[in-house]
């Protein structure tokens, strides 16, 4: 999200779809697993083809002080070429500049070309597939692609759920339909999480012996709404539904009364005009 936001702002500032942005990747490394959790943009001098190292270092120092468990992992950029599989001479030059902060930094490259996106969809690629590649240097100092997996956090899922309401889909759907769809997706996600928790307990009996984990599971279960009696729940749902219908009916009646009063006012004014 940070990368696309950075590119979108720069595209409108430069008034060009070919705008290229650069930034820093932050996160954690646990053994061979690297988790990219945050990013920030950095300045790039197009004349000298170099990043602003003092500026980048100041921002990096500020972030590492604020998030003491974060570290510099690599950098990112965007491209609009037909393929993001290979790295250009400019990107290789910038890569060497970022090696000052880390011996073997990650290099994330996102293709922001709309034409490329449309071509991929025509070929049958899913809209969920992201046009990006991640590189790192191997033993021969050559940039090679790395495997990656996107795992959005709960906060990012909520933000994306609100941001994905584009204009094209909103034309054929009412606001009520959009809200109900959002609620339904949230319930499906909750059910999936609960079922995963149940399967984990069933498949791993040794968890029951770990009192700390069981206390955490109990705490999670206590947060879930308890429906012990289906008849009682149905009654509450019917009462709430009836209240909503009553409020809507009162709104319709109130509007009708206003229209009648407005009509009577016009009729009275017309009668007075006929008298005079």
User: E strands along the chain, which residues?
Assistant: 22-30, 33-41, 44-45, 50-51, 71-79, 106-111, 132-137, 143-145
Neighbours of 213 (CB within 10 A): 15
Q: Minimal CA–CA distance to 108: which of 133, 125, 140?
A: 133
Kindly give the pairing relationship between strand 106-111 and strand 71-79: parallel
Q: Output the pTM of the full model.
A: 0.54
Are 112 and 4 a contacting pair, CB within 8 Å?
A: yes
- Measured between alpha carbons, how far is 86 from 143 in angstroms, rounded to an integer? 9
Neighbour order of strands in the sheet with 132-137: 33-41, 22-30, 71-79, 106-111, 132-137, 143-145
CA distance 40 to 55: 12
* pLDDT score of 91: 84
- Token pair for residue 149? 């997996």
For the chain, the residue count is 276
pLDDT, position 26: 92
pLDDT per residue of the chain (276 residues) written in tens, 0 to 9: 788 888 888 888 887 777 889 999 999 988 888 888 889 999 888 888 899 999 999 999 988 888 888 999 999 998 876 555 556 788 888 888 999 898 889 999 888 776 656 666 566 555 555 677 888 888 777 888 888 887 766 666 666 666 655 544 545 555 666 677 777 888 888 888 888 888 888 888 788 888 888 888 888 777 766 655 666 667 777 777 787 888 888 888 888 888 887 777 666 655 655 655
Rounded CA-CA distance 209/144 in Å is: 45
Question: By the 8 A CB rule, do 143 and 92 touch?
Answer: yes
Q: Which residue has the tokens 């590119």?
A: 7
Closest residue by Cα to residue 76 from 15, 6, 12: 6
């Amino acid at each position: 999200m940070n990368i696309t936001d950075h590119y979108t702002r720069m595209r409108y500032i430069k008034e060009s779809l070919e705008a290229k942005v650069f930034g820093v990747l932050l996160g954690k490394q646990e053994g061979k697993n690297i988790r990219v959790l945050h990013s920030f943009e950095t300045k790039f001098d197009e004349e000298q083809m170099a990043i602003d190292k003092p500026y980048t270092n100041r921002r990096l120092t500020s972030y590492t002080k604020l998030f003491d468990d974060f570290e510099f992992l690599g950098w990112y950029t965007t491209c609009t070429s037909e393929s993001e599989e290979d790295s250009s001479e400019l990107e290789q030059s910038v890569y060497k500049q970022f090696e000052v902060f880390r011996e073997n930094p990650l290099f994330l490259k996102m293709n922001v070309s709309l034409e490329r996106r449309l071509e991929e969809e025509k070929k049958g690629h899913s809209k969920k597939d992201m046009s990006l590649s991640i590189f790192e240097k191997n033993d021969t100092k050559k940039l090679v692609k790395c495997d990656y997996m996107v795992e959005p956090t709960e906060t990012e899922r909520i933000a994306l759920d609100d941001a994905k309401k584009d204009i094209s889909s909103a034309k054929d759907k009412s606001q009520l339909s959009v809200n109900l769809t959002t609620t339904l997706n949230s319930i499906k996600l909750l059910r999936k999480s609960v079922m995963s928790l149940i399967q984990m307990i069933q498949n791993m009996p040794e968890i029951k012996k770990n009192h700390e984990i069981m206390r955490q599971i109990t705490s999670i279960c206590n947060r879930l709404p308890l429906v012990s009696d289906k008849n009682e729940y149905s009654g509450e749902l019917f009462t709430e539904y009836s209240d909503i219908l009553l409020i809507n009916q009162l709104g319709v009646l109130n509007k009708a009364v206003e229209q009648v009063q407005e009509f009577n006012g016009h009729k009275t004014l017309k009668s007075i005009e006929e008298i005079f």
